[in-house]
Structure 1
Amino acid sequence: MTKKHGVLNLFKKNGKKSHSPEIPTFKQNLKAHRFVDACKQLILREDRLFVLKQDGIGSKMRLVEEEEDSEARLAKDYEDLLECVRQTLENSLELQSKEEQEMLKEAVHAVLEEEKQDIRWEGFQEKQRPSWRPRRCKQIHEALLEMLVQRRMEEAPIDLSIDVRSSMQQSIICKAKRLKEDLLKVVTWVSCCYPEELNVCQFYATLYHKAFAARLREVAEFTLCDEDCVLILQWVNQDYPSILNCREIKERIDQAKLDPLLPEDLLAPLEQQFLSNEKREVSKCLHNILDREETAWRDGKLPQLMDQVYCCPQAIDVIQFFHRHVEFTEQVLGDKTKARRITCQMSNFLKDYRAFHAKVIKSKQPNTEVVLMVNLSYLIQCRDYIIKNAHLFPEDVKTDCLSLLTGMTESSHCYFTSNMHREMKDLYRKVGSNEWLKNSKGVCEKLLAKLDRHIQKFNNLDKTCCQELLGRIHKEFLAEYIRKMMKQKIKLSNKEQQQLAASALCFNSERIHTFLTSAGSNMDWLKDILPKLAGLLKLQDPDSVKLELVNLMRAYPDLSERHISAWLKLKGNLSPSDLKMILKSVACSQEEMSGNQDLLDFSKSFFSIVRIK
């Protein structure tokens, strides 16, 4: 390819030589670190020399002494310039003054001038251009910075003030410290020496990231102890990201362009090792807490009272320990989803806790009742923790845990209510009897007095446990009261008797509700059940009874035909045909309602526990 005329046209415009005495010489510019001016001077000489060479002047006549130049001399001057530029670039991360900063800026722009000159020579044959073209100064500059970064990372000083157990940990920590310090230097001192489009902060960040990643990968390829495994994962997911998220650095680099510190084939085994260890640790510690509790129970120890309330230290220990490990796992792995893998240990623990809980219920030890009260506090605290922190658990684990807790809570409640019903069995028999009809107020007061003695033992329960347990007692007590009424030990054969019984039911309802809500029950919605049933006794018109029953079924969807039949049979003056007609109408209404179950309030389930034959 011949471009003789092209060369002449390209370079002759730079061929004029100024004789202005005030212009510094190349060596003066070099000494004064004016690298850009020095570079431009060499480019002018290069242009003139090679234009003259193309014209053949050098072979026809001797140039005057002041214009005499040679490729060798020019090449030597170029080497001197580039050596100064190289030294300045190597000092990029040691800048301490504005003068040094200006020198670096000069060196960078000299490199860019050389890059432009390389581009101008593109397309010319090798024999038509200088032997040093292309210089590829930009590539050399990048390679030089890469070596600079590698050297600084390798020579990162050990910080003896940091207390670590292994040389590997010390090595990683000192390199990370060097990385952060140098990136801050790049941001605050070096970046202003480069044109913005070169994005030198990103370039340096990539180099340091690569060097740090290489060290981590070198370590991760070996079998690590658990402590070092945690250290590596913390650097990958927590400590290193915190360096990049430092405000000054974060604003200047794009982290998305950086490769992962560790490839998946090295990261996955470390994560598995860490998770396995965490699962073992969590399981071990949770079961130590359970063993401690079971030992105390077997030894007959009573729980401590704090401010007249049974304290439940095992609940605090379990929840705090478990939560701390889940949070730690999330931090180490940098991923909430991965941290969920250890939460299955809560489910495993609760299964073992259920076995312990069952042993306590079956036992006859003197401290059984008190231990169950404390366990109830633990179960409710654990349930509330899981519901509040549902995001920590996979759906199946959360469901399993809540099911286990509900089952144990149910069995504890059943233990206490069963004892209550057993102790009150004789008094219950009087409800709905002739004695009750004559003196319902007296029967009710005796029931509540007996109930009061029973629930006094719960005074030392914490508020939430007591409220839930008393709510359960409230519901079951009222259900048993209604069940006894439905046994039809009396027949209300006329309107006057029915009015009397209805008034007694309303009075008793008010008394029962006031007593139990004052004691701590929060089941306020139960207060309307007995008055509504009493209202059925007052009604004499079958059609009015049908209408009221429809309203009652809407309020209590689990009110069955069997319940209705048993209750209406208290009305001795209701004919069999009227009863049959009412029940048939009720059955039709129930079918219609079953097609619109979304409209029914199943939260008010009550009659399902009123078991009648």
Structure 2
Amino acid sequence: MGLSAGDGRARSPRDEEWPEAEKAEKLARGAALKWASGVFYRPEKLEGLGQYRSRETQRNSSIRSRLKSTVQSYLEGVSAGLEQLQSAAQEVQSVCQDLGAARWTLLDSADRFQGLQQMRVLMAEHVQLASVVQVLPQLFSVHEVFSHILQLLHGQHLLEAHAELMMMEHLRDNILSQLHLRRLSSAQATVLSYFGGLQELNESLAKQLWDIVGSSLRLVREDPVLFVTAVRIIEREEKIDDTLLLEATFLPPGRPKGWRQKFYHVLQDTITGAHFHASRMDAQGPGLARHLAALQKDIVSELRVVKDLMVQCVPAHYNILSICTATYHQALTSHLQDILQEDLDKQALFLLLEWALRVYHSPEMMGHPDLLPEVDISALGPLLSPELVDQMERKYVVKVKASVLEWMQRTLEVEFKEWFREEEPETDHQGFFQSALPIIVMQMLNENIQVASLITSSLQQKVYNMALEELEAFLGRLREALVQCGKEHQKDRTVPKYYVSYLLAMLNNNLALSSSVSSLHPNAAHREVPASLWAALDRMQKKACQLLLEELLLDLQPLCLQLPSRKWLSGSQLVSNMCEVIDKYAKDFSHVRKPVFTLLLMESELLVASQYLRALMQKKMVCKSEEERGQLCHRLLQDATQLQELFCGLGLDQSQQSLEAVFALRELICLKDPALLSLEVLGFITKYPDVSDEHISTLLDLRGDVSKEVRHVVLEMMAQHPQVLPESYRPIFSTILVPVPELPFCLRKGKCA
């Protein structure tokens, strides 16, 4: 209640003046009230009220004493500050009075300074006149000095001439500098006109210097004094340039001269012009080879001179050997690019590639022992960029491709003419027919690949890929030539005379190409023969085999046309004649190497079997009785056995023969009970899944005793058991076409009811 009553008191003037104190007091009272309510919320706590009052009284006394001490200290500091401010104000007032007195004294002495200004002007004029008097003898002798300098230049006394020239330039530049400082620009033109001869002398001196630098490679070998003199003059001028540029207040006309940079430019132009700006050269074959050899010799010789002699004639910071090496390198790069603009043949492209990638870095040129280790071109980059090298390699491959194509075309033309010769092809030591075609083709391709390997592996790979492409294309053209030869032979079988022998020679040639192509690339890791090339070789082999089998077929067909017949049933030499034809061809086939010989035997046997079966299915004969069927079965057994024994004798295993189909067909005809044909036919179609309904129907017709009901049962059974050809199965019946049966009830030709 006491705290609440206190809050209701009227505000004192001090509270109005310090609102923060009132706010603080309220917060303190509130905090005290909160603390008291928390401590004395229970009656038993009131017993310690006296202790709390005593402790808070002591605490308040301590706080009051500290506040008094702080306020006292603050008041003492304020008092000392006020005293210092008062002392400073008195000193400032004294200084103001002294400054006022000095100002009045200066105003009284102003008239006396006017006389001093006139003395200053006279002094400046005196200094100028004294300077002019000092240089008058030199000014009067300027033209005489010019004449003397010119005489010295004509006599090639370059150091003396340059010393006097520097003196004249120094005189002129001092005068111009003074005029510049005094901003007397109108007088500068007069001075420049008076010293106008300096420009001509500078140009004359510079011309002699650059002529000397242009002949530096010769001079350092014969008499290096003149070259050293030129370098000393250039260094003098460089120091003058550096000094003037460092001061950066006034640059005389013609400065900076930059003669050191000019020295580099002249030296680089001399090197470039001596070898790379010559008249138009012969960019083909021998002319290019001579040009590159001359470049190699001259560059090595001149770099030796630079390394051994010129380096000693110039300061070390010139890096003259590095500058010359880089100049030759860059000039060669540009020069080779210019040469590549020409339409170069393959020899020229090869020379450039070999020279740039091999010779240039070899001990014969930039890696010469006389140049190492000072000459190092590794930091200059390649002479030709990788992109340019790739472009050159592609151009080279195109040129080689054209050459290979032309050569192969001539080879094919010669080979084609040889097929029509009146003598057999040549044989090797084993008696196999052959020609020079594989050796010529592979040797040509191999030589080009080997030559490319002398440059880079990438070029070798490009030429290798091109060689395989051209070989594939050549095989295609060779196959077309065989087809053309076959057409000529069909018109007249006596032309070519040794048609079969040359076909066998081509098969041996194809085998030789197949075995050689795998080793065409010297690096086994890069022998990637494309599948298309193997396919081309396979097509070539198949075409030659096909033409041979067609030739065999032409000799067999007249005999096969006699099958079947009554005369054949009664016994004839028909199959014996067929065996003689086959044996004749087999003897010819013995001139081809074994893999193809075996293939030809297999294909010949398949051809004989299919022709034999085809003849039986031409509906030329129907057995009229059981006796005829027995004769037919006997004849089939004899023929098949004779043919089979023939091929076995030639080296063809019985498991590789297709004549087993004749034995199986004989079982169908020999079956005495037609009701069992459906089971026999089921076994037949299981063994020969390519047999069709027409084939079976024709065979049933051949028996001559099969009723419509039995035929229907057999065909229905076949429909219920469709067959799938195994992957390894060799088709035989699918190649045999059965004649279409004639429609019945024909009233007249071409129209049926």
| TM-score, normalised by the number of residues in structure 2 | 0.44
State the alpha-carbon separation in 2 of the partners of residues 216 and 467 from structure 1: 62
State the alpha-carbon separation in 1 of the partners of residues 349 and 535 from structure 2: 32
* 1:586 Cα deviation from its structure 2 partner: 1.5
4+ residue runs over 6 A deviation: 169-176, 210-216, 234-243, 258-261
Matching of residue 513 in structure 1 with residue 644 in structure 2: yes
Partners of 2:682 and 2:718 within 8 A in 1? yes
* 1:411 Cα deviation from its structure 2 partner: 3.0
* 1:564 Cα deviation from its structure 2 partner: 1.8
Partners of 2:432 and 2:591 within 8 A in 1? yes
Matching of residue 526 in structure 1 with residue 526 in structure 2: no
Instruction: Classify the secondary structure of the residue corresponding to 2:339.
Output: coil
Instruction: Look up the equivalent residue of 1:477 and give its one-letter code.
Output: V
Q: How does 1:10-25 map to 2 (within 5 A)?
A: none
Instruction: Classify the secondary structure of the residue corresponding to 1:431.
Output: coil
Q: How does 1:331-410 map to 2 (within 5 A)?
A: 332=455, 334-335=457-458, 336=461, 339-361=464-486, 362-363=488-489, 364=492, 366=494, 368-379=496-507, 381-382=509-510, 385-386=513-514, 389=517, 392-396=528-532, 398-400=534-536, 402-403=538-539, 406-410=542-546
State the alpha-carbon separation in 2 of the partners of residues 579 and 434 from structure 1: 25
Counterpart selection for 1:411 from 536, 547, 572: 547
Instruction: Look up the equivalent residue of 1:223 and give its one-letter code.
Output: I
Partners of 1:466 and 1:520 within 8 A in 2? no
* 1:278 Cα deviation from its structure 2 partner: 1.7
Tell me what 1:477 maps to: 608
Instruction: Look up the equivalent residue of 2:337 and give its one-letter code.
Output: E
Partners of 2:425 and 2:505 within 8 A in 1? no
Q: How does 1:85-104 map to 2 (within 5 A)?
A: none
Tell me what 1:316 maps to: 439
Tell me what 1:438 maps to: 570
State the alpha-carbon separation in 1 of the partners of residues 671 and 360 from structure 2: 79
Partners of 2:664 and 2:684 within 8 A in 1? yes
Tell me what 1:584 maps to: 716
CA 1:373 to 1:211, structure 2 compared with 1: closer, same or farther past 3 Å? farther
CA 1:295 to 1:480, structure 2 compared with 1: closer, same or farther past 3 Å? closer
Q: Deviations over 1:391-419 (max 9, x none)?
A: 655445554564455335423432x1243
Matching of residue 265 in structure 1 with residue 397 in structure 2: no
CA 1:274 to 1:571, structure 2 compared with 1: closer, same or farther past 3 Å? same
Partners of 1:340 and 1:394 within 8 A in 2? no
Tell me what 1:564 maps to: 696
Instruction: Look up the equivalent residue of 1:286 and give its one-letter code.
Output: M
State the alpha-carbon separation in 2 of the partners of residues 219 and 546 from structure 1: 89
Matching of residue 428 in structure 1 with residue 560 in structure 2: yes
Counterpart selection for 1:287 from 396, 405, 409: 409
CA 1:556 to 1:521, structure 2 compared with 1: closer, same or farther past 3 Å? same
5+ residue gaps, structure 1: 1-163, 177-209, 244-257
Partners of 2:504 and 2:591 within 8 A in 1? no
State the alpha-carbon separation in 2 of the partners of residues 552 and 328 from structure 1: 62
Tell me what 1:277 maps to: 399
State the alpha-carbon separation in 2 of the partners of residues 489 and 555 from structure 1: 26
State the alpha-carbon separation in 2 of the partners of residues 331 and 543 from structure 1: 80
* 1:530 Cα deviation from its structure 2 partner: 1.5
Tell me what 1:537 maps to: 669
| TM-score, normalised by the number of residues in structure 1 | 0.53
State the alpha-carbon separation in 1 of the partners of residues 700 and 297 from structure 2: 83
Instruction: Look up the equivalent residue of 2:567 and give its one-letter code.
Output: E
Q: How does 1:108-187 map to 2 (within 5 A)?
A: 166=290, 168=292
Partners of 2:619 and 2:698 within 8 A in 1? yes
* 1:239 Cα deviation from its structure 2 partner: 10
Partners of 1:217 and 1:266 within 8 A in 2? no
Partners of 2:353 and 2:455 within 8 A in 1? yes
Bigger Cα displacement from structure 2, 496-505 vs 429-438: 496-505
State the alpha-carbon separation in 2 of the partners of residues 174 and 554 from structure 1: 86
State the alpha-carbon separation in 1 of the partners of residues 621 and 481 from structure 2: 47
State the alpha-carbon separation in 2 of the partners of residues 330 and 544 from structure 1: 74
State the alpha-carbon separation in 2 of the partners of residues 395 and 239 from structure 1: 38
Tell me what 2:735 maps to: 609
State the alpha-carbon separation in 1 of the partners of residues 629 and 390 from structure 2: 77
Tell me what 2:260 maps to: none
Partners of 1:300 and 1:366 within 8 A in 2? no
State the alpha-carbon separation in 1 of the partners of residues 413 and 386 from structure 2: 40
Partners of 1:492 and 1:571 within 8 A in 2? yes
State the alpha-carbon separation in 2 of the partners of residues 463 and 529 from structure 1: 26
Instruction: Look up the equivalent residue of 1:230 and give its one-letter code.
Output: F
CA 1:563 to 1:337, structure 2 compared with 1: closer, same or farther past 3 Å? farther
Q: Deviations over 1:346-403 (max 9, x none)?
A: 2433344344334433154856141452244324532673488476554455545644
CA 1:350 to 1:388, structure 2 compared with 1: closer, same or farther past 3 Å? closer
State the alpha-carbon separation in 2 of the partners of residues 588 and 174 from structure 1: 93
State the alpha-carbon separation in 2 of the partners of residues 486 and 539 from structure 1: 18
CA 1:175 to 1:531, structure 2 compared with 1: closer, same or farther past 3 Å? farther
Partners of 1:509 and 1:527 within 8 A in 2? yes
Partners of 2:332 and 2:383 within 8 A in 1? yes
Coordinate RMSD, CA, aligned: 4.5
State the alpha-carbon separation in 1 of the partners of residues 437 and 643 from structure 2: 36
State the alpha-carbon separation in 2 of the partners of residues 603 and 511 from structure 1: 24
Bigger Cα displacement from structure 2, 487-496 vs 353-362: 487-496
Counterpart selection for 2:426 from 286, 300, 304: 304
Counterpart selection for 2:622 from 491, 504, 517: 491
State the alpha-carbon separation in 2 of the partners of residues 565 and 229 from structure 1: 72
CA 1:432 to 1:412, structure 2 compared with 1: closer, same or farther past 3 Å? closer
Tell me what 2:36 maps to: none
Q: Which has the larger radius of gyration?
A: 2
Instruction: Look up the equivalent residue of 1:487 and give its one-letter code.
Output: Q
State the alpha-carbon separation in 2 of the partners of residues 371 and 266 from structure 1: 51
Instruction: Look up the equivalent residue of 2:643 and give its one-letter code.
Output: I
Instruction: Look up the equivalent residue of 1:357 and give its one-letter code.
Output: L
Instruction: Classify the secondary structure of the residue corresponding to 1:608.
Output: coil
Instruction: Look up the equivalent residue of 2:481 and give its one-letter code.
Output: F
* 1:462 Cα deviation from its structure 2 partner: 5.0
Larger RCO (CA within 8 A; separation ≥ 6)? 1
* 1:509 Cα deviation from its structure 2 partner: 1.6
State the alpha-carbon separation in 1 of the partners of residues 679 and 290 from structure 2: 83
Partners of 1:213 and 1:262 within 8 A in 2? no
5+ residue gaps, structure 2: 1-287, 301-325, 364-379, 519-526, 740-753
Identity %: 17
* 1:489 Cα deviation from its structure 2 partner: 3.8
Bigger Cα displacement from structure 2, 328-337 vs 529-538: 328-337
Instruction: Look up the equivalent residue of 2:667 and give its one-letter code.
Output: G
* 1:490 Cα deviation from its structure 2 partner: 3.8
State the alpha-carbon separation in 2 of the partners of residues 169 and 552 from structure 1: 81
* 1:275 Cα deviation from its structure 2 partner: 0.7
* 1:172 Cα deviation from its structure 2 partner: 8.2
CA 1:525 to 1:453, structure 2 compared with 1: closer, same or farther past 3 Å? closer
State the alpha-carbon separation in 2 of the partners of residues 522 and 332 from structure 1: 53
